């Protein structure tokens, strides 16, 4: 995923990991809880997500290549 695709994501949407897997071998899917951008730093982004009941995480701009947008979820 590139920076422009990340900025087009919406709260409540899904992302899929290209590197992390679930226990059954399927790609990890997580729901987006918030997206943070800055006016003064347009090349930076933070995507906060929830995976399962207790797993929360943050994706920053340098980690975007390990994820893809979840279309049609």
Q: In this structure, what CATH number is given to the domain that contains residue 61?
A: 2.30.30
Q: What is the pLDDT of residue 60?
A: 96
Q: What is the pLDDT of residue 70?
A: 85
Domain that holds residue 56: 3-70
Give the pLDDT band (50/70/90) at residue 2: very high
**With contact defined as beta carbons under 8 Å apart, do 56 and 48 qualify?**
yes
d(CA 17, CA 20): 6
Give the pLDDT band (50/70/90) at residue 12: very high
Q: Is the pLDDT of residue 10 over 90?
A: yes
Residue 46, C-beta contacts closer than 8 angstroms, at least 6 positions apart? 35, 36, 37, 58, 59, 60
| In the chain, % of residues over pLDDT 90 | 86
Q: What is the pLDDT of residue 40?
A: 96
């Amino acid at each position: 995923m590139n920076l422009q695709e990340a900025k087009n994501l919406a709260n409540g949407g899904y992302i899929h990991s290209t590197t992390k897997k679930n226990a059954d071998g399927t790609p990890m899917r997580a729901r987006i809880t918030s997206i943070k951008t800055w006016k003064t730093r347009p090349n930076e982004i933070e995507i906060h997500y929830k995976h399962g009941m207790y797993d929360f995480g943050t994706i920053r701009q340098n980690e975007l290549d390990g994820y893809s947008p979840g279309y049609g979820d």
